Structure 1
């Protein structure tokens, strides 16, 4: 809107068409990929691999986001919402919960790979209870942290919505200092801190590869770990960095703090692209599983997947093999506890 409250010409035309097209493209591969990932990870649950708990939760977050896309596609094609304000707000809220849950679990996967690699003897206990608690805490934190998104769009006058939802929801007027504080906290906690953690894990793993006293098996596992951590970092930057750059600008537009029509039009084009890149993460994550996890790829290629869950993988813990009783054997065995 401009200063007089009118919408600049064509401000929302691009975003609605673009959302409908991109969400349609994301829907099918995201649905198939994450259902397949959960099917394969069901087998991992019977093994002693701790990081799989985070991958399962990441797949659940991605799948939940994908399942909400049909309602979004329908709205952007029809430009009318007849399913009630409550469902509209829930779908709107779910989008951000799933996005930040994906960020949280990508960080957990990277940290888990890093800790198992750098401190194999300290983290060789393959019990999954702690990881389950971390996941539960993560979901609670993310759900609470994302509450401002729908709360800033709620209005006491439902007739004012006029069957509108998602991008057309009005934004409550918020004091400038409060809005800046909220955006700053959101950017620091939701993007900058997770990014720094992933980059730190990548940097330390790269340094560990340069150690001259590393065993050949150790080097192989370090390369695998670095491959996954770097892939998480690249996906993180591609999918989430554009959105967290455009988010403050879009908020300023919707709260009518930016009134110049040219600036509004540029932001109205950039923000939908950035938001769809964030949604694209739900399609990219299954690709990460396949190309960075040997076990995932090996099991997915088997005809007898259900019967092969216990095959070809050493148990975590103590081995009866005398060769595994040495420090080198325990190190290799601990590294097999990771993905």
Structure 2
């Protein structure tokens, strides 16, 4: 998959730099990501049947984030030790899940934004059957994302192909000892399968459009519609301005996560693709791209710690549950009602 006749010899310093970046960032986000998403699932489990405010989508978003967090320990081990002793199958699984979790997060952020906007613009269209529809939308989303992300591991090969750091492997000098990190490699450092340039560009453009551009347009459109409902009340819309402000905070938060976490990654992804294919005319530009892309990939992973903050600051049910962790409000009401009924019976019996 070499698009240019020249090649740039990679450096071991570049590999060490990338490993340090990944190891440090993943070590920082693993604890808050794990705690925040487990807490989110605990809260939403209670309110999934009593509210219609996109809780089903937020639960699936928390599951996607939690799956990403649970795969980080193996990644941290690899980037700290420069070797992968867990076998090729587990490497491919972790590599595959990384992209599944990222694009599943994008999908469910879009679903949350659309649902919150819909509930503000047309609240009467939502009924109990829509919750079953939401579950079907989640199932279809997982299936589509899982199928769409299959090319990422399928384009990697355990033997041969094009390596990240040089177009041709450099033979070791006689009598030299193995270089650090000469053990089994994994993730993006696996060699790539041979693939034609048109097919590679088709996959790249499809990933950019369907995986980022279209979702971003939908989230921004929901943001504009929700913000417009505050200024121009429409027939059938929610009259409560406080509820509209909460909905606006939610969709604004989703847009912020998109722009902060996913936009930098999808901007550098085509450049990284060209750099690894030796399609860049400047070796210095290639190295710059290969140094920037790990940072943007870490930003994309940062969403698993930002999403729980969205739940807390924009979802009434979340902080209401945390403020009264012993019992949800609807169950408290039913207990009070049952107690009052028992007291009336006792007074009548006496």
Q: By the TM > 0.5 criterion, same fold?
A: yes
Task: Give the drift of 1:162.
Answer: 4.8
Distance 1:220 1:50, change over 3 A: closer
SS at match of 2:280: coil
Residues 78-89 of structure 1 mapped to structure 2, 5 A cutoff: 78-89=81-92
- The answer as to 2:198 corresponding to 1:177 is yes
Q: Count matched residues.
A: 311
Indicate whether 1:242 and 2:245 are aligned. Answer: no
Residue matched to 2:18: 15
Question: 1:173, 1:255 within 8 Å by CA — same for their partners in 2?
Answer: no
Can you list the C-alpha shifts for 1:212-263, whole angstroms capped at 9, x where unaligned?
5789942222111111101110111100000001111111122222363211
The within-5 A match list for 1:188-337 is: 188-211=209-232, 217-258=239-280, 260-305=282-327, 308=329, 310-311=331-332
Q: Does 1:69 align with 2:72?
A: yes
Contact 1:206 1:226 in 2 (8 A): yes
Deviation at 1:303, TM superposition (A): 3.8
Listed one character per residue, the Cα deviations across residues 68-123 of structure 1 (whole Å, up to 9, x for unaligned) are: 00000000000001111010010000000000000000000000011111111122
Tell me the SS of whatever aligns to 1:60: helix
Gaps (5+ residues) in structure 2? 162-168, 170-181, 335-350
> In the alignment, does 2:155 pair up with 1:152?
yes
Compute the displacement of 1:295 (Å).
1.5
2:195 & 2:55 partners in 1: Cα distance? 42
The 5 Å alignment of 1:128-139 reads 128-139=131-142
Q: Which residue of 1 aligns with 2:346?
A: none
Residues 227, 50 of structure 1: alpha-carbon distance in 2 compared, 3 angstrom cutoff: closer
Q: How does 1:159-174 map to 2 (within 5 A)?
A: 162-174=183-195
Aligned mate of 1:95, from 91, 95, 98: 98
TM-score w.r.t. the length of structure 1 is: 0.85
Mapped to 1, the partners of 2:303 and 2:333 lie a distance apart of 31
Whole-angstrom distance in 2 between the partners of 1:213 and 1:193: 27
Give me the whole-angstrom Cα distance separating, in 1, the residues matched to 2:45 and 2:246.
22
**For residues 89 and 309 of structure 1, do their structure 2 counterparts lie closer, same or farther at Cα, with a shift above 3 Å needed?**
farther
Q: In the alignment, does 2:122 pair up with 1:119?
A: yes
CA deviations on 1:306-327 (whole Å, 9 max, x unpaired) are x5453579xxxxxxxxxxxxxx
SS in 2 for 1:244: helix
TM-score of the two chains, using structure 2 as the length reference: 0.83
Distance 2:238 2:269 in 1: 46
Structure possessing the higher radius of gyration over alpha carbons = 2
Q: What is the aligned counterpart of 1:53 among 48, 53, 56?
A: 56
Unmatched runs of 5 consecutive residues or more in structure 1: 314-339
Alignment partner of 2:31 out of 28, 31, 41: 28
* Partner-residue secondary structure (3-state), 1:310: helix
SS in 2 for 1:10: helix
**Counterpart contact for 1:116–1:124, Cα < 8 Å:** no
